[in-house]
């Protein structure tokens, strides 16, 4: 796993030992960022189910002003911290150990608005729809913000959910990527 482009291009990221995480492949990550590159500079991004911090760190490397990382696993949190330190993004990163729903609720209390929410939950656990609902209810997304969900391509996500509509879908091998924005 490495940073593909930007200030930290080519830098290797620490990975998490074991099989509890499924990092986004460089191919999928590159495709996602090619689609949203114009939205990245000066953006505030949220990396839910952050794992190693791969997506949020890529955004920082490409010019995002801030990234918030949420994961409930202590090993993931340690790895994100180490990756932020190694790349020099400590001042632009906020790392929260929490489950996704509680993390969203806590962020909403602080009135933080995100330009991009990256969501890469464990496949087959049905986190996507309830979290789309919660993203809308907590109002943490800028009016022109987007939610990008990486999921098993066989998982049929809704075209519309809680005021958000899917405006794009891509398939890369066994991975589906759905893009949502406010209706």
| All domains of the chain in start order, with CATH | 26-182 (3.40.50.150)
pTM of structure: 0.95
User: Mind listing the pLDDT tens digit for each residue in 27-84?
Assistant: 999 999 999 999 999 999 999 999 999 999 999 999 999 999 999 999 999 999 999 9
Which class for 127: exposed (0-12), middle (13-18), buried (19 or more C-beta within 10 A)?
buried
**What confidence category does residue 20 fall into, taking pLDDT thresholds of 50, 70 and 90?**
low
* Per-residue model confidence (pLDDT) at position 24: 80
DSSP helix, strand, coil percent of the chain (3-state; round to 5): 35, 30, 35
* Per-residue model confidence (pLDDT) at position 22: 66
């Amino acid at each position: 796993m490495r940073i593909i482009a930007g200030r930290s291009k080519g830098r290797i990221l620490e990975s998490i030992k074991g099989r509890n995480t499924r990092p986004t492949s460089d191919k999928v990550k590159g495709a996602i960022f090619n689609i949203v590159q114009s939205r990245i500079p000066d953006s505030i991004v949220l990396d839910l189910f952050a794992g190693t911090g791969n997506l949020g760190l890529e955004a920082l490397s490409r010019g995002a002003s801030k990234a918030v990382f949420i994961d409930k696993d202590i090993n993931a949190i340690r790895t994100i911290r180490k990756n932020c330190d190694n790349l020099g993004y400590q001042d632009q990163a906020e790392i929260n150990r929490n489950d996704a729903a509680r993390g969203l609720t806590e962020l909403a209390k602080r009135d933080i608005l995100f330009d991009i929410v990256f969501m890469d939950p464990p496949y087959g656990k049905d986190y996507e729809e309830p979290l789309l609902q919660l993203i809308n209810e907590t109002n943490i997304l800028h009016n022109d913000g987007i939610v990008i969900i990486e999921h098993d391509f066989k998982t049929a996500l809704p075209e519309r959910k809680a005021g958000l509509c899917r405006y794009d879908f891509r398939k890369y091998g066994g991975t589906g990527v759905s893009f949502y924005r406010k209706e």
